């Protein structure tokens, strides 16, 4: 393609991305939907701004998925990965197995297809879309939740299982195949192939461990940032090429390399260097997915496609939901997990190519499946929003009636709501002084974790009055609200004030705004969670700048004193934004003046009363100088 | 008119002090007496100077109530003096705002009265050991009142303690009601 063509296409893609994503974000829909929508509009079936070479662009853009996996690997040290082995093998393995079998069974019985074709379809549809799911979850900040981690585990397993799936495709051949089209694309997973795969995996680990660091060392010494970035790109591209050569998933190889490099000192440099490329390529990938939706086919057989789409979603949701339940995922997390993974994915496109080449499926079936899969990908961000905003609030009420732990702590003076990092410190201090605390926590993983350290936290939703009663709120003296969520904190404060007026409420607030709100709701004591540590760090910074420790300590204390005082004074005008900002700025200025004055007072040589003859001499001098003025 | 009495109390282990608890409960709720518990207010030794100076201005009789630690007060009360009795408040230009007020120490002592004599192992009488407080008062233009001392703080029986506490409360009442201590003119 000549220069102008490339530039023109880049222009179209970028313009579509900028407009699409901005609009989608405005509507609170997330970037993935924006890209997909933009793709549909510029695609060959709508405006036709990009032609039929979209699939070429798509292959190129798939490299974004590879990069994403590499970056995810960088965040996962081997230790963390090892911890995920149960969800990866158990949850992931069962999901692929059960979904494949169920879809195969439906295809055989309902659609009356040959079992070999059905199995191929089952395998294609069992896999979800790594790109869409991870991008959407990370944008929503859900990747670190239980649901997010489990989703990731399942997707990782799918990345692995796609290799044997490709390998068995030739065995499922039912149609007559022209020998020239079936080519030797897919080799049997013979002994030699196995060695090659193992060898390259081992190679990645060894090279990553022992060779990459020295190379980056050498490159970094040139001090040229773009060369460092070029080297990073080169690394990922090399892995991709090697993996393709031996027939492994490049995404998997890149992920592996990422994990190996997670402990390297260049980890953050790599992250920063590659992140922009990854995001743009992923965006491009989503656009091409949108652009490749065959709208003509959709219009021709709309009922068939919609029917299949609904069937696909129902089957996947059912399998995922039941499995998550078996793996003891709390219902609210389960919802996110289930709806996130309910789509077909980009692997379906890959598998369909092999299926076509090996004469497993005919072109018409493949076209219809491709549309169904693409539509399901398009629906994913909407499904997650649906789960988050509609189903979760609806089911919350039911959940409260679910069996929470029986609380058998007897009478304890203190209830600690939320046993994360914050609650732990509070509770341990109290226990060290001999006060018994009843601990309530909503995250099952956290409860399991602290159990290993011999601490018993009870599973329960603290916004439920019955749970609070069971925890002894009627007899306890203190309620310590250490939960992260400010909504919950506010709710618990109100509940306590309403139902247990004798209970003193000590609460953790995120910032000023939250502190005001929680205080207003009736909390007896509110602390801003980061204020103390920030001041301590500031104090250390002053020491590092040459202050004596005592002086640094005084400055921090003075700051805290006035900041608290001002917060109290400002609480009356909270809500009147204009007035608040005005007065807050005034107070901040006042505080700085006070701090400076305190500092200057300490720098002046102190006039002490016991200095000889101080009163007579200096006093006289001062009054004299006054007169002179 | 009554004098207003400010009891500035400094005890780092109040919860374990039987004598001070008896004394505090005897005077805490007296009319005209303000009880100012330093270790409770300033656990981190970060004293609110403005607040303390305001309290001083509002009262006529100032009492330092504390156990006798190393022949002086617990350290927080010393810190209090260092930061509250500041230039241009207690002395210096624009200072002497305490002049005309009265200062008294009320101390609890573990040892016996006889140990605080020229022949005892503490060598000096309590009055003399408290000279720094006396001179501080004089420097600030205050009147120093002879200290209230409770000896054998750890050995007293319950009834003896009650008597001592009563004696302390009586003293504070008489200071409160003594017109001759009234500030003349004032600032």
Domain encompassing residue B110: 5-10+30-177
Core vs surface per residue A345-357: b (16+ CB within 10 A) or e? bbbbbbbbebbbb
In a domain, B19, yes or no: no
| pLDDT of amino acid A600 | 67
- Closest partner residue to A609 (CB to CB) among B44, B93, B139 is B139
Q: CB-based contact (8 Å) between A626 and chain B? A: no
Position A619 pLDDT exceeds 70: no
Task: Search chain B and give the residue with CA nearest A557.
Answer: B46
A619–B92 C-beta distance less than 8 A:
yes
Chosen for mutation from B49, B93, B137 (greatest number of chain A CBs closer than 10 Å) is B93
| pLDDT of amino acid A190 | 60
In a domain, B123, yes or no: yes
Q: CB-based contact (8 Å) between A568 and chain B? A: no
Contacts B139 to A, Cβ<8 Å: 609
Task: Search chain A and give the residue with CA nearest B86.
Answer: A608
B93–A622 C-beta distance less than 8 A:
yes
| pLDDT tens by residue, B83-122 | 999 888 998 888 889 999 999 999 999 999 999 988 889 9
Task: Search chain B and give the residue with CA nearest A559.
Answer: B46
Number of domains in chain B: 1
In a domain, B186, yes or no: no
- Closest partner residue to B87 (CB to CB) among A557, A561, A607 is A607
Contacts B96 to A, Cβ<8 Å: none
In sequence order, the 6+-apart residues with CB closer than 8 A to the CB of A455 are A419, A439
Residues 122-141 of B with CB under 8 A from A: 139
Q: How confident is residue A623, by pLDDT bands cut at 50, 70 and 90? A: very low
In sequence order, the 6+-apart residues with CB closer than 8 A to the CB of A205 are A256, A260
The C-alpha angle A345, A349, A353, rounded to 5 degrees, equals 155
In a domain, B20, yes or no: no
| pLDDT tens by residue, A137-157 | 887 778 777 888 889 889 988
For residue A446, give both structure tokens. Answer: 């956290």
A557–B92 C-beta distance less than 8 A:
no
Torsion over CA of B83, B85, B90 and B91, rounded to 10 degrees?
-70
- d(CA A13, CA A38) in angstroms, rounded, equals 9
| pLDDT of amino acid A390 | 81
In a domain, B58, yes or no: yes
| pLDDT of amino acid A52 | 65
Q: What is the rounded average pLDDT of the residues A220-230?
A: 81
Position A37 pLDDT exceeds 90: no
Contacts A609 to B, Cβ<8 Å: 91, 139
| pLDDT of amino acid B135 | 95
Closest CA of chain B from A485, distance in Å: 31
Q: CB-based contact (8 Å) between B92 and chain A? A: yes
Torsion over CA of A21, A22, A24 and A28, rounded to 10 degrees?
130
- d(CA A406, CA B48) in angstroms, rounded, equals 48
Task: Search chain B and give the residue with CA nearest A622.
Answer: B93
Any idea what the CATH number is for the domain that residue B74 is in?
Answer: 3.40.50.360
| pLDDT of amino acid A575 | 67
Q: CB-based contact (8 Å) between A619 and chain B? A: yes
In a domain, B137, yes or no: yes
Q: CB-based contact (8 Å) between B91 and chain A? A: yes
| pLDDT tens by residue, A513-568 | 888 889 888 999 999 988 989 999 999 999 899 888 888 888 898 888 888 888 87
Position A364 pLDDT exceeds 80: yes
Closest CA of chain B from A623, distance in Å: 9
Task: Search chain A and give the residue with CA nearest B90.
Answer: A609
What number of other Cβ atoms are within 10 A of residue A495's Cβ?
20
Q: What is the rounded average pLDDT of the residues A361-371?
A: 85
| pLDDT of amino acid A618 | 44
Q: How confident is residue A3, by pLDDT bands cut at 50, 70 and 90? A: low
| pLDDT of amino acid A613 | 47
| pLDDT tens by residue, A425-459 | 999 899 888 888 888 887 777 777 777 777 778 87
Position A68 pLDDT exceeds 70: yes
A607–B139 C-beta distance less than 8 A:
no
Q: What is the rounded average pLDDT of the residues A181-196?
A: 57
Position A410 pLDDT exceeds 70: no
- Closest partner residue to A609 (CB to CB) among B48, B91, B93 is B91
Task: Search chain B and give the residue with CA nearest A616.
Answer: B92
Least confident of A382-391, A416-425, A563-572: A563-572
Cβ atoms of A150 and A327 closer than 8 Å: yes
Q: CB-based contact (8 Å) between A622 and chain B? A: yes
Chosen for mutation from A561, A605, A609, A611 (greatest number of chain B CBs closer than 10 Å) is A609
Task: Search chain B and give the residue with CA nearest A560.
Answer: B46
Q: What is the rounded average pLDDT of the residues A104-133?
A: 89
Question: How confident is the prediction for chain B on average, in pLDDT?
Answer: 91
Task: Search chain A and give the residue with CA nearest B96.
Answer: A615
Contacts A563 to B, Cβ<8 Å: none
Q: What is the rounded average pLDDT of the residues A582-609?
A: 69
Position B64 pLDDT exceeds 90: yes
- d(CA A293, CA A289) in angstroms, rounded, equals 7
Q: How confident is residue A411, by pLDDT bands cut at 50, 70 and 90? A: low
Q: CB-based contact (8 Å) between A554 and chain B? A: yes
Closest CA of chain A from B36, distance in Å: 19
A275 vs A399, which has greater pLDDT? A275
What does each C-alpha distance from A622 to A156, A619, B89, B139 come to in angstroms?
80, 5, 16, 19
Q: Tell me: ipTM over 0.85.
A: no
For residue A600, give both structure tokens. Answer: 């200057």
Closest CA of chain B from A541, distance in Å: 20
Q: How confident is residue A317, by pLDDT bands cut at 50, 70 and 90? A: very high
Q: What is the rounded average pLDDT of the residues A21-38?
A: 83
A619–B93 C-beta distance less than 8 A:
yes
Position A413 pLDDT exceeds 90: no
Q: CB-based contact (8 Å) between A188 and chain B? A: no
- DSSP letters along B122-177, please? T-S-HHHHTHHHHHHHHHTTPEEEEEEEE-STTT--HHHHHHHHHHHHHHHHHHHH
Position A252 pLDDT exceeds 70: yes
A622–B91 C-beta distance less than 8 A:
no
In a domain, B125, yes or no: yes
Task: Search chain B and give the residue with CA nearest A607.
Answer: B87
In a domain, B187, yes or no: no
Q: CB-based contact (8 Å) between A617 and chain B? A: no
Contacts A568 to B, Cβ<8 Å: none
A493 vs A257, which has greater pLDDT? A493
Q: How confident is residue A402, by pLDDT bands cut at 50, 70 and 90? A: very low
- C-alpha Rg value of chain A to the nearest Å: 31
- Most confident option among A499-503, B70-74, B88-92: B70-74
Q: How confident is residue A187, by pLDDT bands cut at 50, 70 and 90? A: very low
């Amino acid at each position: 393609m000549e220069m102008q063509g490339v530039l023109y296409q880049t222009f179209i893609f970028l313009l579509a991305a900028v407009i699409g994503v901005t609009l989608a974000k405005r509507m609170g829909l997330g970037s993935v939907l924006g890209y997909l929508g933009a793709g549909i509009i510029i695609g060959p079936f709508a405006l036709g701004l990009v032609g039929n070479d979209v699939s070429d662009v798509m292959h190129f853009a798939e490299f974004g998925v590879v990069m994403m996996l590499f970056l995810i690997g960088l965040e996962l040290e081997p230790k963390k990965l090892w911890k995920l082995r149960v969800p990866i093998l158990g949850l992931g393995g069962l999901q692929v197995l059960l979904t494949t079998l169920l879809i195969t069974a439906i295809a055989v019985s309902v659609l009356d297809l040959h079992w070999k074709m059905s199995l191929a379809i089952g395998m294609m549809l069992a896999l979800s879309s790594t790109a869409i799911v991870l991008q959407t979850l990370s944008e929503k900040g859900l990747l670190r939740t239980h649901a997010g981690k489990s989703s990731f585990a399942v997707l990782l397993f799918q990345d692995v299982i796609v290799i044997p799936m490709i390998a068995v495709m030739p065995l499922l051949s039912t149609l007559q195949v022209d020998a020239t089209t079936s080519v030797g694309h897919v080799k049997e997973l013979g002994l030699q192939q196995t060695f090659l795969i193992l060898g390259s995996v081992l190679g990645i680990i060894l090279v990553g461990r022992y060779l990459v660091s020295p190379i980056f060392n050498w490159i970094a010494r040139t001090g040229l940032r773009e060369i460092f970035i070029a080297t990073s790109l080169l690394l990922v591209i090399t892995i991709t090429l090697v993996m393709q050569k031996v027939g492994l998933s490049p995404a998997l190889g890149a992920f592996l390399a990422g994990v190996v490099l997670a402990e390297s000192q260049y980890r953050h440099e790599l992250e920063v260097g590659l992140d922009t490329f990854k995001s743009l390529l992923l965006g491009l990938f989503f656009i091409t997915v949108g652009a490749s939706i065959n709208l003509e086919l959709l219009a021709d057989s709309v009922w068939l496609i919609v029917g299949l789409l609904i069937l696909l979603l129902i089957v996947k949701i059912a399998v995922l939901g039941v499995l998550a339940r078996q793996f003891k995922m709390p219902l609210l997390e389960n919802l996110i997990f289930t709806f996130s993974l309910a789509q077909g994915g980009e692997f379906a496109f890959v598998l369909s190519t092999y299926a076509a080449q090996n004469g497993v499926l005919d072109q018409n079936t493949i076209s219809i499946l491709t549309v169904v899969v693409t539509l399901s990908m398009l629906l994913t961000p909407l499904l997650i929003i649906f789960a988050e905003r509609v189903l979760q609030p609806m089911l919350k009420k039911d959940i409260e009636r679910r069996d929470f732990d029986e609380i058998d702590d007897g009478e304890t003076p203190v209830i600690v709501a939320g046993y994360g990092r914050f609650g732990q410190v509070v509770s341990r201090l109290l226990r060290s002084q001999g006060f018994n605390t009843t601990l309530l926590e909503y995250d099952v993983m956290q409860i399991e974790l602290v159990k290993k350290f011999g601490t018993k936290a009870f599973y329960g939703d603290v916004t439920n009055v019955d749970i609070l009663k069971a925890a002894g709120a009627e007899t306890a003296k203190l309620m310590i609200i250490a939960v992260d969520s400010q909504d919950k904190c506010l709710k618990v404060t109100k509940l306590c004030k309403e139902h247990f007026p004798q209970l003193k409420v000590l609460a953790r607030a995120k910032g000023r705004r939250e502190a005001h709100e929680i205080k207003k709701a009736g909390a007896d004591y509110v602390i801003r969670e980061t204020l103390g540590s920030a001041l301590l760090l500031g104090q250390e910074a002053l020491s590092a700048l040459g202050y004596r420790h005592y002086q640094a300590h005084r400055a921090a204390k003075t700051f805290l004193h006035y900041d608290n005082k001002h917060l109290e004074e400002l609480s009356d005008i909270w809500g009147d934004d204009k007035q608040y900002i005005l007065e807050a700025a005034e107070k901040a200025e006042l505080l700085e003046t006070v701090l400076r004055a305190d500092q200057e007072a300490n720098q002046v040589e102190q006039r002490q009363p016991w200095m000889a003859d101080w009163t007579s001499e200096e006093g006289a001098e001062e009054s004299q100088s006054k007169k002179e003025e | 008119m009554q004098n207003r009495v400010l009891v500035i109390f400094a005890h780092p282990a109040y919860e374990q002090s039987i004598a001070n608890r008896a004394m505090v409960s005897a005077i805490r709720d007296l009319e005209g007496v303000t009880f100012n518990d330093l270790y409770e207010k300033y656990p981190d030794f970060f004293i609110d100077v403005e607040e303390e100076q305001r309290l001083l201005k509002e009262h006529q009789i100032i009492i330092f109530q504390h156990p006798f630690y190393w022949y002086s007060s617990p350290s927080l009360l010393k810190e209090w003096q260092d930061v509250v009795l500041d230039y241009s408040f207690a002395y210096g230009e624009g200072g002497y705002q305490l002049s005309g007020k009265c200062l008294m120490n009320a101390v609890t002592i573990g040892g016996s009265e006889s140990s605080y004599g020229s022949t005892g192992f503490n060598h000096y009488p309590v009055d003399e050991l408290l000279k720094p407080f006396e001179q501080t008062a004089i420097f600030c233009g205050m009147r120093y009142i002879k200290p209230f001392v409770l000896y054998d703080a750890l050995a007293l029986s319950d009834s003896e303690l009650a008597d001592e506490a009563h004696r302390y409360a009586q003293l504070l009442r008489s200071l409160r009601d003594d017109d001759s201590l009234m500030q003349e003119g004032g600032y």
